[in-house]
């Protein structure tokens, strides 16, 4: 079984991005993301209604990281420190050497390959440093852009569960993607 330790926090840098811890000062930028119906349209979670909601979310994520239950990065452009998205490993399964990847990005920064860059950095860390054997992506199948991000990163669709979740009175489908550690294939 794997053992995770996220202290010190693993800040990652790519050509254009810094993946760094979220701090209280990021709450306004995170609020912009988590209150935007376009950003959240395929994520069955309530929209943030205040900056305080986002501050509480940051605190909850940081507490979970202090227990090594998940790993959550804020995505910032290297040219600035403002958060434009988030990415992380959630639903860690140390007994299976597996984690779920999740992400979101501000619409003004979509379509530029930034999420692909962030996913590549997170996967390199997950397979190289955390010693994960596999990573899953769980998405709404209507989210074509997210499916493309996963496919470009080498994920394959493993399954489609029809109407397996109920959100706001509607039954939703869920697509499951997975990627095995390239070094172990």
pLDDT in tens, 13-25: 999 999 999 999 9
Please state the rounded mean pLDDT for residues 159-175.
Answer: 95
pLDDT of residue 157 exceeding 90, the answer is yes
Over residues 50-96, the pLDDT tens digits come to 999 999 999 999 999 999 999 999 999 999 989 999 999 999 999 99
**3-state SS assignment for residue 68:** coil
Q: Quick one: pLDDT band at residue 185, thresholds 50, 70, 90?
A: low
Residue 50 CB-density burial (10 A; 0-12 exposed, 13-18 middle, 19+ buried) = exposed
Q: Which domains does the chain have, with CATH numbers?
A: 12-184 (3.40.630.30)
Do you find a cis peptide bond into 8, omega within 30 degrees of 0?
Answer: yes
| Cα–chain center distance at 139 | 11
User: Residue 44: what are its φ and ψ, rounded to 5°?
Assistant: -75, 70
Percent over 70 (pLDDT), the chain? 99
């Amino acid at each position: 079984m794997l053992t995770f330790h996220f202290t010190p926090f693993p800040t990652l840098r790519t050509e254009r991005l810094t993946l760094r811890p979220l701090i209280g000062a990021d709450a306004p930028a995170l609020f912009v993301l988590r209150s935007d119906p376009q950003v959240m349209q395929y994520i069955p979670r309530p929209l943030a209604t205040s900056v305080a909601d986002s501050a509480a979310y940051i605190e909850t994520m940081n507490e979970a990281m202090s227990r090594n239950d998940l790993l959550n990065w804020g995505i910032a452009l290297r040219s600035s420190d403002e958060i434009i998205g988030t990415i992380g490993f959630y639903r860690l399964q140390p007994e299976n050497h597996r984690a779920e990847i999740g992400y979101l990005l501000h619409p003004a920064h979509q379509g530029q390959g930034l999420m692909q860059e962030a996913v590549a950095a997170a996967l390199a860390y997950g397979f190289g440093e955390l010693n994960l054997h596999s990573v899953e992506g769980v998405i709404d199948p209507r989210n074509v852009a997210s499916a493309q991000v996963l496919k470009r990163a080498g994920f394959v669709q493993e399954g489609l569960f029809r109407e397996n979740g109920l959100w706001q009175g509607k039954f939703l489908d869920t697509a499951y993607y997975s990627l095995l550690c390239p070094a172990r294939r």
